[in-house]
Every structure is written in C-alpha cells, then in structure tokens.
Amino acid sequence: MLAKYPVNLFIQNPVSKELPSKKEYVGKLGYSYRRKIHERFIESILFLSALLSVVIMLAIIMMLVKESVVFFKHVSIWEFLTDTQWTPLFDDAHYGILPLVAGTVVSSAVALLVALPLGTIIAIYLSEFAPFAVREIAKPFLELLGGIPTVVYGYFALLFVTPLLQLIFPELPGFSLLSAGLVMGIMIIPYVSSMTEDAMRAVPMQLREGSYAMGATRFQTALRVVTPAAFSGIAAAYILGISRAVGETMVVAIAAGMQPNLTWNPMEPAATITAYIVQVSLGDLPHGSVGYQTIFAAGLTLLLITLIFNIIGHQLRKRYREIY
C-alpha cells in the first residue's frame, strides 16, 4: 500500500530560515533604541509633572512658615491660640484666632449639613435608580452648578437667600453665617455627588447580582451592599467637600459679614479665615507690618486645618478600601 505513494510525501522537509541582513539588523536595533529613548522621555515628563506639584506645595508651606515666624516674633503663640478677640487693625490690637476659626467651623458645618446628605442621595439615585436618559440630563446640570462663579453664589446668598430666611426668622440680620452656609452647601453638592456616584458605579455588578439573588430589593442593595463597598470613595468625596467648605472665600466674604465675632450661633454675622485674608489683602496696610503678617499666620492655620481633614480622609480610605 505504501509503495503507491512517494516516499518524500511522508517526510517533512525542514523550513529554512535566512538570517537577517546587516542592514535589517541595524535598522531594528536603531528602532528599538529610539523607542527606548522615547519612553524615557515620556517617563521624565510624567515624573517632572508629579514633582512640580510637590515642589509647589513645599514652596507654599515654606512661604507661610517663613512669614508666620516673623509674626510670632511679635505675638506669642499662646495669645494667638487662646485670645478671644481678633482686632489686629485697631489701636488696641488683639491677635486671637479663635473668632475666625469659629466662623470658619460654623459656616462649614452648615454647608456640610446641606451638601453631604443631598449629595449622597443624588449619587445613590443616579447610580442605582435613575434611567440612562435621566442620568444623561442630570449630570450636565450638576456640572453646570459646580461651574458657577463663587461671587455669583455670594450675591445669591445676600440678595435672595437672606431675605427668604428673614421671612422665617424675622430677627435674622442682613449678614449671617446661616445664609452663607446654606449657599455654600448648594455649591458643594456637585463635588460630593459626582465623586460619590463614581465610587458607587465602580462597585462590581456581581455584588449587586448576589444581593438580588438573596432576595434584597434595589433600595436595600444600594444601602447595605453598594454604599459600604464604596465607602472609601465616599469618604474621599466627603473630605473634598469639607476642604472646599473650609477654603471658600467669596460667599462668606459677601454674605456672612466681615466682623470677627466669637460665636457658635449660625444666625449671627461673623468672619472666616479666608474672608479676613481677602479683607487685609485688599486694604492699605504696609507690607511687613504686624497687621499685614497676620494673613500668613491665618493662612497657616487654615492649611493645618485642611491638612488634618486630609489625613483623616487618607486613613479612612486606607482602612476601608475594597480591592476587587
């Protein structure tokens, strides 16, 4: 039977491979070298971009510390932290930071009482319940709300929210931390809702499907499965909202008044740290005077407050972060 077929049909001839020529070898070597140089160049640009942010942050800290040291040569740290009056521009000067810290804390607390619950509710709805068409319409409006200039929010608080609140609280003055805080909360909602929604949509669908398979409703799944799984991202959104509220300037400068007043009542006018910095920066105080140096001590205090919240947020993200 085998004699009918040629012998070479059953023998597989080896495939001959020719070595590349010298010209092709040099071309491939040059291409590999250029590719490596190109990748190193891109890596260097990325590294310098990351390094630039660190350098800028260190420069800001060095500037604040340097100018604050000059201030604390004239004013003791104990007086700065414990005095209950802040009147550095008066003849009888007092340099207690507590009134400014109180105004900052109260206005931020009012803003967060508005922004955090509403931002979380909006994020849960958009992530778990809203149809695609509703989400596509609502997201641009939220982004537009976050893009409105803060000076517009300030006059909105002064000319619309304050008269509206005076209908409910007739004793409310024309400037108050309450109206400024409410509008700040509205301004912060887009930041909280957007980051919270992104964190919730990053939760794997398998967790939702497992919850549905156990008989849970969409609402129970959203609250008891998705929200805990996305807690690290939600905490980051909250910390961003807190930092945004603490550092807000124009809304409190316009609607809260610029009277350094040690009060924890949101229905009274008061000044915040940022509002005071704006007030002094636009004034006629000579550079190098003790009154002018107060803005750097106040700025350093604001930086430390923001740093504390960021450290807390980092620890929360590190502790509750879920890896899928």
Predicted confidence (pLDDT) at residue 317 exceeds the cutoff of 80: no
Query: Would you state the pLDDT for residue 133?
Result: 87
* Co-location of 108 and 253 in the same domain: yes
pLDDT of residue 10: 42
Which residue has better confidence, 321 or 142?
142
**Is-contact 86 99, C-beta < 8 A?**
yes
Angle at 265 between CA 83 and CA 154, to 5 degrees: 100
Are 145 and 228 contained in the same domain? yes
Q: Check pLDDT > 70 for residue 134.
A: yes
Quick check: is 14 in a domain? no
Same domain, 201 and 234: yes
What number is the average pLDDT over the span 133-154?
A: 87
For residues 215-230, average pLDDT: 90
Q: What is the pLDDT of residues 84-120, one digit of tens each?
A: 888 887 778 888 899 999 999 999 999 999 999 999 9
Instruction: Please check whether residues 28 and 49 belong to one and the same domain.
Output: yes
Per-residue pLDDT for 14 more than 70?
no
- Note whether residue 10 is domain-resident: no
Sign of CA dihedral 293, 295, 301, 304: negative
Q: Is the pLDDT of residue 141 over 90?
A: no
Torsion of CA 154, 155, 158, 164, to 10 degrees: -110
- Kindly list the distances between the CA atom of residue 211 and the CA atoms of 43, 81, 218, 266, in Å, as whole numbers in the listed order: 43, 52, 9, 43
Number of domains in the chain: 2
Q: Which two tokens stand for residue 66?
A: 């340097």
Mean pLDDT of 51-73: 90
Which pLDDT band, with edges at 50, 70 and 90, does 309 fall under?
Answer: confident
Predicted pLDDT at 322: 64
Is 7 among the domain residues?
no
Closest CA to 154 of 304, 278, 298: 278
Task: Judge whether 267 lies within some domain.
Answer: yes
Q: Residue 159's pLDDT is what?
A: 92
Mean predicted confidence (pLDDT) in 18-31: 57
Cα-based distances in Å from 178 to 89, 221, 255, 270: 26, 36, 9, 10
Residue type for position 122: I
Question: 35-39, 262-266, 319-323: which range is least confident on average?
Answer: 319-323
Same domain, 144 and 116: yes
The pLDDT-based confidence of 164 (bands split at 50, 70, 90) is very high
The confidence band for 24, taking pLDDT boundaries of 50, 70 and 90, is: low
Query: Average pLDDT over the chain, rounded to whole?
Result: 85
145 domain residue, yes or no: yes
Whether 200 is in a domain gets the answer: yes
Q: With 70 as the cut, is the pLDDT of residue 319 above it?
A: yes
In-domain check, residue 15: no
- Within a domain: residue 4? no
**Listed residues 73, 89, 105: the one ending a domain:** 73
Could you tell me which residue, 23 or 271, shows the higher pLDDT?
Answer: 271
Residue 2 is predicted with a pLDDT of 45
Same domain, 196 and 85: yes
Tokens encoding 64: 């604040």
Whether residue 283 is found in the same domain as residue 309: yes
Tell me which residue of 241, 275, 242 sits closest to 257, measured CA to CA.
Answer: 275
More confident residue, 234 or 287: 234
Q: Is the pLDDT of residue 180 over 60?
A: yes
Q: CATH number for the domain including 152?
A: 1.10.3720.10
Same domain? For 64 and 156 the reply is: no
> What range does the domain containing 105 cover?
78-320
Identify the band that residue 56 occupies on the pLDDT scale cut at 50, 70 and 90.
very high
Give the tens place of pLDDT for each residue, 257-273: 888 888 899 999 999 99
Return the half-sphere exposure (C-beta side, CA atoms, 13 A cut-off) of residue 125. Answer: 12
CA angle 150–236–320, rounded 5-degree value: 165
The pLDDT value recorded for residue 1 is 46
| Lowest pLDDT segment from 14-28, 39-53, 188-202 | 14-28
Judge if 57 and 167 occupy the same domain. no
Report pLDDT for 324: 59
Q: Do 117 and 86 fall into the same domain?
A: yes
